[in-house]
Chain A
Amino acid sequence: MNIDSTSPINVRFAGLGGTGVIKASDIFADVVFRLGHTVKKAEVHGMSQRGGSVQSDIRFGPEVHSPMIPEGACDFLVVLESSQVDVVRGGLRPGGVLLTPADIDLAKLPTAKALNVAMLGRLSRCFDFPEQSWQDSLRANFPEKLHTANGKAFALGRGA
């Protein structure tokens, strides 16, 4: 992915409340921000723990204005809940990358909760960021007892 272009890279995480959408987007924003990019992130909180649809937008690049991704302009769409794929698919630009739970060998997930981390691993293949950046942000955003399971989930997605 060429991130030197003047228009920002648009990455949207989508799913249902409680599926780790906000957490995954926080980690991704952290990775990108620590690498020195200008990042903006937009989401709507409030009802997100009540099982409804949740989306989080991350935009990064040399210059970012609105924190919200325009209609049909997602370069990457990461969907954490299969039932939501058709609901949110329209947000993807032509040629954009759609990642869904079908991209992960779910039988090999250490826990079902770690799907968001596995999806981050899958997403990591699309960027030329050092793997250590992802590992650092994962560790910074989860309690230590989850680090082993998360390491496995990330490796599963990344195909390490």
Chain B
Amino acid sequence: MHPSQDSSGRLLLSGNEAVALSALHCGVALGTGYPGTPSTEILEGFDALGGRAQWAPNEKVAAEVALGAAFARARVICTMKHVGLNVAADVLFTMTYSGVEGGYVLIVADDPGMASSQNEQDSRRYAEAAAAPMFEPADSQDAYDLLRTAFEVSERWHIPVLFRMTTRVCHSKSPVTPRFPLGVAPAETGAPAPEFVRNIAGRVMVPGHAKPAHRRLRAKLADLQAWNEAQGPNRIERRNAALGVITSGISYHHVREAAPDASVLKLGLSHPLPMKTIREFAASVERCVVVEENDPWLATACRAAGLAVEAKDDSIFRFGELNVDRVRRILARDSGPEPVPPRGRPPELCAGCPHRSSFEVLKELDCIVSGDIGCYTLAALPPIAAMDMMIDMGAAVGMGLGLRHVLPREQAKRVVSVIGDSTFLHGGLPGLVEMAYNPPATGHVLVILDNGTTAMTGQQEHPGTGRKLDGAATYQVSYEDMARAAGVKNVIVLNPVREKARFKELLSEALRKDELTVFIARSPCILAAGRIVAWQKERQAQEAAAAAEQGSCACGQDCACAGGADESNPVLNSPHEH
């Protein structure tokens, strides 16, 4: 991380970079998460600054790893995009009951307008549903400062907290005056030293323990709400009393520009809401408008409290992100048609992308494709148009099985589940187990597109790449071994680019049989290929050196083979087959 710095020590940081720097300055012992736009750069930045950061296979595991560390009194951050919180929701809803020893900040990045997401769900609803405090930074300085407040709240009330960012807060850059210089991990962060504290009644959420835990949680929230009223990170800016706006996050800045004379109540800790503060503010202005992106969560809460606040017209402004022009229209009660921005060129699969080849084969065989989330989702768009459904991470497998179970035989035989490597490890594994546990009468075909990286979010490592977040070597899981262990009879590894004809032939054969087949279509992402090849060579050299020392081959098993890599797959190969 080499941000711009001016002569007064201010840094020009994105919201994600500001959170990473603040995490370092707060003494965060561990950062974990799963990549997801727009959250990905937080952990990458934390690692670049010298923090300990790691990718988990999915958000649920990440949230659990973070929870264990927080039980051990460490300060932790756990990062994910909004839909990742659905995966981690199971942890969230009960860790608010158990509480934590060390500060636990779960950073969730919403994507109003869906710049790079499948929905625009509003995480504020999770804060209310799971009874978790929620902070909402408006810009990079706010993100830097509020993270520290979030840790103070988390540790004082022993409660995990949500930290809601949005695309424009994550990816916009603005000046930050840090407490400590860039790259300095302060000696005195205030972070407690990790240690195990036994607390069975507080940590084992059986009903007998969870019932009092729920009451404790509600009492904590009531106490926190009183604190939020008195000294929470909320700000009233008194200007003209004719118009008052209640807002939070990036909307605050749109409001300041659209209505520079308006009085503003900017919320920094929006759950539990400081309703007394809101009530007093609303009463102090002639007209009070709530300006918020997506769901009318804040407006509904204000109205439920009996406040006569105005809200945006949700038939128009619930959809997409806000900006200065839209806020002007909201404040002017203008519900007329909005100008349509010119359509730019949509993204497409890169020239030379191995996914192109795979989807050409699927299209030529007229497959019904149950797809998944990644770059390859672009294959649903013309001219390829060879993906029939995409909903959530891992769904390719289950949806494909459901189709196979009920479709007429001639259609069922055309169904193929297609999923990327990182997505398979994230959410596809239980589907693989289901595939062998409840096999359709026509069998099924699963294609794992292994391009050796989490390409969509910017080429992050995952358990299938054999590299950790920081690039250090680690164990590399084998999809082929997992498929066999799950009970799949036919497991085929091939290169969909160099062996396209063979792929078509074998896929055609697999579709004819009433059996279970897993293809691993292995060819590197062209954007990451250089790095993957370099690491592969490094790994092979290390394995060969280790083998020479032990006088056996590098396959890691007791064998008599000659060793070495599979020459048909010089890139991304795993130890040879036995």
Contacts and interface: CB of A to CB of B under 8 A. Distances in A.
A43 B115 CA distance: 10
Given A50-B349, A66-B323, A33 B115 contact: no
Interface residues of B, number: 44
A50 B6 CA distance: 33
A63 to B, nearest CB: 9
Interface string A108-148: 00000000000000000000000000000000100000000
Interface in B237-271: 250, 253-254, 256-257
B198 interface: no
A82 interface: no
Nearest to B339: A71
Nearest to B378: A50
13 contacts: A33-B4, A33-B12, A34-B6, A41-B172, A45-B116, A47-B115, A47-B116, A52-B347, A66-B250, A66-B323, A67-B168, A68-B254, A86-B342
B324 A68 contact: yes
Contacts of B2: 140
B6 A45 contact: no
B408 interface: no
A44 B341 CA distance: 15
Given A68-B323, A71-B325, A45 B344 contact: no
Interface string B334-348: 000001001111111
B350 interface: yes
Interface in B9-42: 10, 12, 37-38
Contact of B347 (A17, A36, A42, A140): A17
A46 to B, nearest CB: 3
Contacts of A84: 344-345
A36 B343 CA distance: 36
A65 B324 CA distance: 9
B347 A39 contact: no
Contacts of A83: 345
A38 B175 contact: yes
Interface in A52-102: 52-53, 64-68, 70-71, 83-84, 86-88, 90
A51 B175 contact: no
A70 B324 contact: yes
B171 interface: yes
Nearest to B346: A52
Contacts of B5: 34
Given A44-B171, A51-B347, 5 more contacts: A39-B12, A39-B173, A41-B172, A47-B115, A66-B323
Contacts of B37: 45-46
Contacts of A68: 168, 172, 254, 323-324
Nearest to B41: A45
B375 A42 contact: no
Given A34-B6, A71-B325, A66 B253 contact: yes
B350 A44 contact: no
Contact of A66 (B257, B345, B456): B257
B540 interface: no
Given A39-B12, A39-B173, A50 B348 contact: yes
B173 A40 contact: yes
A47 B345 CA distance: 11
Contacts of A43: 171-172
B348 A70 contact: no
A49 B343 contact: no
B253 to A, nearest CB: 4
Contacts of A90: 342
Interface in A10-47: 16-17, 29-30, 33-34, 36, 38-47
- Among B116, B175, B344, the one with the most A-chain Cβ atoms within 10 Å of its Cβ is B344
Contact of A47 (B171, B175, B347): B347
Interface in B505-543: 527
B199 interface: no
Given A34-B4, A88-B342, A40 B348 contact: no
A39 B167 contact: no
B64 to A, nearest CB: 27
B7 interface: yes
Given A49-B527, A50-B350, A68-B323, A16 B345 contact: yes
B167 to A, nearest CB: 7
A84 B4 CA distance: 29
Contacts of A51: 345, 347-348, 350
B574 interface: no
B347 A50 contact: yes
B174 interface: yes
A49 B344 CA distance: 15
Given A34-B6, A65-B254, A70-B324, A41 B168 contact: no
A34 to B, nearest CB: 6
Contact of B115 (A39, A44, A49): A44
B388 to A, nearest CB: 21
Contact of B173 (A16, A29, A52, A87): A29
Contacts of B253: 65-67
Given A36-B6, A67-B172, A70-B324, A45 B38 contact: yes
Contacts of A64: 174
Contacts of A88: 342, 344
A30 B12 CA distance: 8
A70 B350 contact: no
Contacts of B6: 33-34, 36
Given A29-B4, A67-B253, A87-B343, A46 B348 contact: no
B256 to A, nearest CB: 4
Contacts of B174: 39-41, 64, 67
Nearest to B115: A44
A115 to B, nearest CB: 18
Contact of A46 (B116, B256, B325): B116
Given A30-B4, A49-B350, A65 B256 contact: yes
A66 B324 contact: yes
Given A49-B350, A70-B324, A71-B325, A42 B342 contact: no
Interface string B211-248: 00000000000000000000000000000000000000
A34 B10 CA distance: 9
A42 B174 CA distance: 9
